[in-house]
């Protein structure tokens, strides 16, 4: 079936129309040529709307996003009191044995009362129902007494790579693992629901492909997520192309996965195996990002390393033997030092396997240079600037703040792609573009080093072509070009010519994946 799209304003193209056939862009040109080529196919008039390649969110957690949507949403709560109210409202629906889960709280943004949420607040809601609230960074959970009891955690418990604040009921990094063990894994049916809810949410923002890290989301290991994704892809039920960023709890799990024949590139257009994903440290907001020097606003800590050098070396080395590159979550410069050191052993000149760094936040100048020298793929999140612009100033000294989040430098010298880390941030691409070009916070009016602003064109590229390169799919997606998969987003405003503020008002009105409409406003 041929579909002719006419009266379009195509990004980076003088053409006004295109023909889609068999899920691909068959022809791009002027209206008459396209109408003629379409024959008696369908004609869709876009009325002058702006068309971009489908957006590629290069790092997120698709299943976790869907899961997040089923929990109590706390992102808008501006005090512990509001959180307590939101959680209380859920207690009526809880079945015996069920937990209440909340997600997305951010105590540093509280505008009323103390800037914290603790066990005592949650115990006031219930000491019978287990309650677990996860901070928006995803690295810290606040739990009530019931959860501590179920997890067997007391004042004396020690968990390697984690931190337990028993009095406040805060579990950080690896100390959150008992939660997953006690809550148990999702069933295949639940997991499928998460993915379907997640993809529906991202399609509404024009996203047609995502680098998604899901293996340890409500799952013991890779097997359940892999099965569910593979089944959905086979059944043609995925409306977003997923390049899986594969995370493993142990080197043994990774070895088994590789032994079963999985490695980067295995899969099809809808679901493919991406790189090995490693988490090196925590978050800036939670002061768990690993710094080379103590935090400026808390000299008692330098943050937490989530993986030691030996374990990282074993995992990276093992994957490397199967031509599977690693991408590593590194937010603090201390974590990045370790990552760069391990990578030096494995990354070949020019980085042909496409090793990468996820987040690229607190960086010294020498590190930015080494990332460029190793030609590492950078996976940054301009959406983080909204909440990070103010906390950056508090957490690190001015000279380090100045060289941090060096997005333009990375963009101009490496393959730097953009993403949301959803559900850490709502995967709103147009908002991400706004932050990339302004480096201003909407929440606080703070701004970051303006020399690192991207142009709108660069920001669009970071959300399209660069993501495609990160996934090794640059010959299939990320461009509106003949022969490419017909993935595109239709936007009501040409964001390349409007004032930056108007990018925030622009809306995605249609999303198409492989020639099929998956969202329309
Ligand atoms: Zn992530």
Q: Is 442 within the bounds of a domain?
A: no
What is the CA(24)–ligand 1 centre distance, in A?
Answer: 31
Residues 14 and 82 in one domain: no
Per-residue confidence (pLDDT) for residue 183, from 0 to 100: 86
Per-residue confidence (pLDDT) for residue 425, from 0 to 100: 93
Residues 48 and 103 in one domain: no
Q: Is 254 within the bounds of a domain?
A: no
Q: Is 46 within the bounds of a domain?
A: yes
Parallel/antiparallel/unpaired status of strands 55-60 and 50-53: unpaired
Helix (H, G, I), strand (E, B) or coil at 9: strand
What value does the mean pLDDT of the chain take? Answer: 96
Q: Is 212 within the bounds of a domain?
A: no
What is the CA(182)–ligand 1 centre distance, in A?
Answer: 23
What is the CA(288)–ligand 1 centre distance, in A?
Answer: 14
What is the CA(61)–ligand 1 centre distance, in A?
Answer: 6
Q: Is 347 within the bounds of a domain?
A: no
Residue 308 has pLDDT above 90, yes or no: yes
- Mean pLDDT computed over 454-467: 98
Per-residue confidence (pLDDT) for residue 159, from 0 to 100: 93
Q: Could you say which of 183, 213, 236 is where a domain stops?
A: 183
Q: List the domain range (segments joined by +) for residue 133.
A: 64-183
What residues are neighbours of ligand 1 (ion), with CB under 5 Å?
A: 421
pLDDT digits (tens, 9 = 90+) for 79-128: 999 999 999 999 988 888 889 999 999 999 999 999 999 999 999 999 99
Output DSSP code: residue 241: E
What is the CA(59)–ligand 1 centre distance, in A?
Answer: 6
CATH of the domain at 20: 2.30.40.10
Residues 153 and 87 in one domain: yes
pLDDT digits (tens, 9 = 90+) for 395-446: 999 999 999 999 999 999 999 999 999 999 999 999 999 999 999 999 998 9
Q: 392 pLDDT band (50/70/90 cuts)?
A: very high
> How many C-beta atoms surround the C-beta of residue 195 within 10 A?
24
Q: Give phi and psi for 42, each to the nearest 5.
A: -75, 145
What is the CA(244)–ligand 1 centre distance, in A?
Answer: 12
pLDDT digits (tens, 9 = 90+) for 51-64: 999 999 999 999 99
What is the CA(213)–ligand 1 centre distance, in A?
Answer: 7
Per-residue confidence (pLDDT) for residue 234, from 0 to 100: 96
Dmax over CA atoms of the chain, in Å, equals 76
Per-residue confidence (pLDDT) for residue 220, from 0 to 100: 83
What is the CA(307)–ligand 1 centre distance, in A?
Answer: 15
Residues 70 and 110 in one domain: yes
What is the CA(334)–ligand 1 centre distance, in A?
Answer: 18
Q: Is 15 within the bounds of a domain?
A: yes
Residues 75 and 174 in one domain: yes
**Consecutive H or E run containing 459:** helix 456-462
Q: Is 335 within the bounds of a domain?
A: no
Residues 81 and 125 in one domain: yes
What is the CA(246)–ligand 1 centre distance, in A?
Answer: 11
What DSSP assignment string belongs to 393-448?
HHHS-HHHHHHSS-HHHHHHHS-EEE--TTTTS---HHHHHHHHHH-B-TTT--B-
pLDDT digits (tens, 9 = 90+) for 483-499: 999 999 999 999 999 99
What is the CA(199)–ligand 1 centre distance, in A?
Answer: 16
Rounded to the nearest 10 degrees, the angle between the axes of helix 62-70 and helix 188-203 is 100
Q: Could you say which of 130, 158, 183 is where a domain stops?
A: 183
What is the CA(378)–ligand 1 centre distance, in A?
Answer: 13
What is the CA(8)–ligand 1 centre distance, in A?
Answer: 35
Using alpha carbons only, what angle is made at residue 147 by residues 142 and 153, rounded to the nearest 5 degrees? Answer: 95
CA 159 – CA 164 distance, rounded (Å): 8
Residues 27 and 90 in one domain: no
Parallel/antiparallel/unpaired status of strands 488-491 and 50-53: antiparallel
What is the CA(329)–ligand 1 centre distance, in A?
Answer: 7
On whether the CB atoms of residues 105 and 116 are closer than 8 A, the answer is: no
What is the CA(78)–ligand 1 centre distance, in A?
Answer: 24
Residues 123 and 163 in one domain: yes
From the number of C-beta atoms within 10 Å of its C-beta (0-12, 13-18, 19+), residue 98 rates as: exposed
Per-residue confidence (pLDDT) for residue 45, from 0 to 100: 98
Residues 178 and 68 in one domain: yes
What is the CA(35)–ligand 1 centre distance, in A?
Answer: 44
Residues 141 and 35 in one domain: no
Residue 187 has pLDDT above 90, yes or no: no
What is the CA(500)–ligand 1 centre distance, in A?
Answer: 27
What is the CA(64)–ligand 1 centre distance, in A?
Answer: 10
Residues 31 and 135 in one domain: no
Q: Could you say which of 183, 215, 236 is where a domain stops?
A: 183
Helix (H, G, I), strand (E, B) or coil at 25: strand
CATH of the domain at 170: 3.10.310.70
Q: Which two tokens stand for residue 422?
A: 């959803």
Parallel/antiparallel/unpaired status of strands 326-330 and 24-29: unpaired
Q: Is 412 within the bounds of a domain?
A: no
Domain count along the chain = 2
Using alpha carbons only, what angle is made at residue 247 by residues 241 and 249, rounded to the nearest 5 degrees? Answer: 155
Using alpha carbons only, what angle is made at residue 459 by residues 369 and 22, rounded to the nearest 5 degrees? Answer: 120
Residues 31 and 74 in one domain: no
pLDDT-above-70 percentage for the chain: 100
What is the CA(360)–ligand 1 centre distance, in A?
Answer: 12
Question: Where are the extended beta strands (E) located within 187-335?
Answer: 207-212, 241-247, 271-279, 326-330
pLDDT digits (tens, 9 = 90+) for 9-44: 999 998 999 999 999 999 999 999 999 999 999 999
Q: Which residues pair with 357 in a beta bridge?
A: 328, 378
Exposure pattern of 391-429 as b/e (b: 16+ CB <10 Å)?
Answer: bbbebbeeebbbbbbbbbbbbebbbbbbbbbbbbbbbbb
What is the CA(47)–ligand 1 centre distance, in A?
Answer: 38
């Amino acid at each position: 079936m041929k579909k002719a799209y006419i009266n379009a304003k195509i990004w980076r193209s003088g053409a006004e129309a295109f023909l889609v056939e068999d899920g691909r862009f068959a022809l791009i040109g002027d209206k008459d040529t396209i109408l003629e080529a379409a024959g008696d196919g369908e004609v869709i008039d876009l009325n002058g709307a702006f068309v971009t390649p489908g957006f590629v969110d290069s790092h997120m957690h698709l299943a976790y996003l869907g899961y997040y949507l089923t929990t109590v949403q706390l992102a808008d709560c501006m005090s512990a009191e509001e959180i307590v109210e939101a959680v209380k409202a859920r207690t009526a629906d809880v079945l015996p044995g069920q937990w209440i889960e909340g997600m997305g709280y951010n105590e540093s943004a509280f505008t009323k009362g103390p800037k914290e949420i603790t066990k005592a607040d949650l115990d006031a809601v219930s000491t019978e129902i287990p309650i677990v609230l996860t901070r928006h960074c995803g690295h810290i959970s606040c739990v009530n007494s019931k959860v501590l009891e179920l997890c067997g955690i007391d004042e004396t418990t020690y968990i390697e790579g984690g931190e337990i604040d028993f009095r406040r009921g805060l579990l950080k990094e690896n100390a959150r693992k008992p939660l997953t063990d006690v809550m148990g894994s999702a069933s295949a049916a639940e997991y499928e629901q998460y993915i379907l809810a997640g993809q529906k949410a991202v399609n509404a923002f024009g996203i047609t492909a995502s680098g998604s890290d899901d293996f340890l989301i409500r799952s013991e290991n890779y097997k359940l997520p892999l099965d569910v994704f593979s089944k959905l892809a086979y059944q043609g039920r995925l409306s977003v192309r997923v390049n899986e960023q594969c995370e493993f709890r142990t080197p043994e799990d990774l070895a088994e996965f590789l032994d079963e024949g999985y490695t980067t590139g295995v899969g099809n257009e809808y679901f493919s195996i991406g790189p090995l994903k490693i988490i090196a440290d925590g978050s800036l907001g939670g002061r768990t990002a690993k710094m080379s020097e103590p935090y400026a606003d808390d000299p008692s800590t330098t943050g937490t390393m989530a993986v030691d050098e030996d374990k990282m070396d074993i995992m990276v080395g093992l994957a490397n033997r199967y031509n599977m590159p690693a991408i590593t979550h590194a937010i603090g410069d201390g974590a990045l030092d370790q990552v760069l050191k391990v990578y030096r052993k494995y990354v070949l000149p020019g980085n042909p396997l496409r090793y990468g760094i996820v987040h690229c936040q607190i960086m010294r100048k020498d590190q930015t240079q080494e990332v460029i020298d190793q030609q590492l793929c950078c996976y940054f999140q301009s959406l983080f600037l909204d909440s990070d612009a103010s906390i950056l100033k508090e957490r690190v000294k001015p000279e380090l703040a100045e060289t941090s989040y060096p997005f333009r430098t990375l963009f101009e010298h490496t393959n730097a792609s953009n993403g949301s880390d959803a559900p850490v941030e709502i995967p709103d691409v147009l908002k991400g573009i706004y932050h990339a070009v302004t480096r201003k916070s909407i929440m606080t009016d703070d701004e970051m080093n303006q020399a690192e602003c991207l142009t709108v064109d660069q920001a669009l590229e970071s959300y399209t072509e660069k993501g495609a390169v990160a996934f090794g799919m640059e010959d299939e997606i990320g461009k509106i070009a003949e022969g490419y998969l017909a993935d595109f987003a239709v936007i009501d405003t040409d964001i390349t010519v409007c004032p930056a503020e108007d990018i925030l008002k622009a809306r995605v009105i249609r999303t198409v994946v492989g020639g099929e409409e998956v969202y329309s406003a």
